Structure 1
Amino acid sequence: MANIVQFENVGLRYGTGPETLSDISFTLSDGAFYFLTGASGAGKTSLLKLLYLAQRPSRGIIRLFGEDTVLLPRKRLPGFRRRIGVVFQDFRLVPHLTAYDNIALPLRVAGIPEGEVEPPVREMLAWVGLQDRGRALPATLSGGEQQRVAIARAIITRPELLVADEPTGNVDPEMADRLIHLFGSLNRLGTTVVVATHDFHLLNRVPGANMMRIDKGRLYDPTGSLRFPPRRPDVPPEETS
């Protein structure tokens, strides 16, 4: 089973301050599901930024899709980023575009013919319960509705890696369960999923999901180890090598 992500002794500092992340080493298996937990300020968002190439590490090695991203030429970064779906904590919707057009944006950027854009966008709107809000601008949507648009936009291209930062933070428990189910469905289609959350009741919603915990910039598995054994949801624990 291939590793889609590999971190080796990665450190991250902003400016001349102390390290935000220290000695981070782990792998993510292709097609697996991961929950990343930790208190506010523990380093979850910083780790996710490294995963979706918004930040380069101060030290260490990061391999993504089999290539060393630290040495990756900048001209190749856009192609790598198109293989990653991101759900931002602050949504980052384009304010002058409707919900429909925000969701359609990744398809249009990828050059998908306009005639092939509408069916998947309509499907995504229905999946996140916004089938009647496609023409609404972000300013007219509630925080929870904006979050659902952001999620639909992130997954419409069926990315190889999905990174979600507190994706259920602005929705009610019923919608949170629905969105996690959606992530699980995408995962079963082959996407590696990483969900950062402080909502511990979600951790049992995806059978076989792997758990990671970050504390004061160091990464742990639930047993307290700094490394964790990657495991696909469809592989029972006793079969894990």
Structure 2
Amino acid sequence: MAAIVQFENVGLRYGHGEEVLRDVTFALAAGAFYFLTGASGAGKTSLLRLLYLAQRPSRGVIRLFGSDVVTMPRARMPLLRRRIGVVYQDFRLIPHLSITDNVALPLRIAAVPEEEVREAVGEMLAWVGLGHRAAARPSTLSGGEQQRAAIARAVIARPDILLADEPTGNVDDAMADRLIQLFVSLNALGTTVVVATHDAQLLAQVPAAQTMRIAGGRLADPAGASRVPAWRERA
């Protein structure tokens, strides 16, 4: 499969502190499923921030969808971000919007016709068990319900890449299983999925997934993720 993400010798530091990511090199294949594991503070969230373009690296090369995002003008980044779905640890739902409007946001940004938006949002909320909370505001939902709403918003537009940071941390085991199956279904449609998790039980639920382990800001040899970016292999 072709590489959709390529990192080469990437380093990241915040301000003048020590690097939190060091010499990170890997390539992610289009349409593959990955788990990103590691202890708290190992660098998982920082790596995800680079992947969804919230942060530029301090050094190294990052290519996303074939484009060099390190040198890319900021004005071009919103178009790339629309191809990425993100499930944040802190949900980031818009407090003054209903759950329906929060989930509909990616489709409306993409100018999907409103009739299609309503149908897609209704189906997605039903799937994650929030059909009865469609008109509710985020502040009235439990943590688990907010997590499900955030996941529904991230996947509704069928992004090319889905990044999920501890997506099952606020739901019970039954809902965690259901959400992982949603990610598997999305992956079967061609989306590259990266799930950052501490939960070893999740890894067993997706036998075909590849595991990337990060420790001390360095990526250990991943089980399947290429350590040599595709454009270097062709050189």
TM-score class, shorter-chain normalisation, is over 0.9
Q: Does 1:88 align with 2:53?
A: no
Q: Distance in 2 between matches of 1:185 and 1:97?
A: 28
Distance 2:149 2:216 in 1: 32
What residue number does 1:239 align with? none
- 2-structure distance, mates of 1:67, 1:139: 38
Q: How many Å separate the matches in 2 of 1:130 and 1:228?
A: 36
Residue matched to 1:151: 151
| Distance in 2, Cα, partners of 1:85 & 1:6 | 18
C-alpha separation between the residues in 2 aligned to 1:3 and 1:126?
A: 34
**3-state SS of 1:93 partner:** coil
2:225 to 210, 230, 235: 230
Counting matched residue pairs gives 226
The DSSP-based 3-state class of the residue aligned with 1:169 is coil
Paired residue secondary structure (1:132): helix
Aligned equivalents of 2:122, 2:76: Cα separation in 1: 31
- 1:12-60 deviations in Å (ceiling 9; x for gaps): 0000100000000000000000000111111000000000000000000
Q: Who is 1:235 aligned against?
A: none
Deviation, 1:62, is 0.3
**TM-score, structure 2 as length reference:** 0.94
When normalised by structure 1's length, the TM-score is 0.92
Amino acid at match of 1:194: V
Q: Which amino acid aligns with 2:210?
A: N
1:71-82 correspondence to structure 2 within 5 Å: 71-82=71-82
Amino acid at match of 1:117: V
1:173 Cα deviation from its structure 2 partner: 0.7
**Structure 2: distance between partners of 1:77 and 1:57:** 15
Which amino acid letter does the alignment assign opposite residue 162 of structure 2? L
Identify the residue that residue 6 of structure 2 maps to in structure 1. 6
Residue pair 1:13, 1:20 contacting (<8 A) in 2 also: yes
Residue 98 of structure 2 aligns with an amino acid whose one-letter code is T
Structure 1 segments of 4+ aligned residues over 2 angstroms from their partners: 227-231
What is the CA–CA distance in structure 1 between the aligned matches of 2:95 and 2:130, rounded to whole Å? 17
In structure 1, how many angstroms separate the alpha carbons of the residues matched to 2:35 and 2:224?
14
- Alignment-derived partner of residue 26 in structure 2: 26
2:184 is aligned with 1:189 = no
- The residue type paired with residue 164 of structure 2 is A
Q: Equivalents in 2 of 1:123, 1:11: separation in Å? A: 41
Question: Where does 1:141-220 land on structure 2 (aligned, <5 Å)?
Answer: 141-220=141-220
* Residue type at the aligned position of 1:180: I
In the alignment, is residue 122 of structure 1 matched against residue 122 of structure 2? Answer: yes
AA at the equivalent of 1:27? A
Q: Secondary structure at the match of 2:89?
A: coil
C-alpha RMSD over aligned residues: 1.0
Q: Which amino acid aligns with 1:15?
A: G
Structure 1: give runs of 5+ residues left out of the alignment: 232-241
| SS across alignment from 2:133 | coil
Question: What residue in structure 2 maps to residue 135 of structure 1?
Answer: 135
Distance in 2 between the 1:29 and 1:166 partners?
Answer: 21
Displacement, 1:228? Answer: 4.7
Runs of at least 5 residues in structure 2 that lack an aligned partner in the other structure? 227-235
- The answer as to whether partners of 1:164 and 1:195 remain within 8 angstroms in 2 is yes
Aligned-residue offset at 1:229: 2.9
Aligned mates of 1:229, 1:143 — CA distance in 2:
34
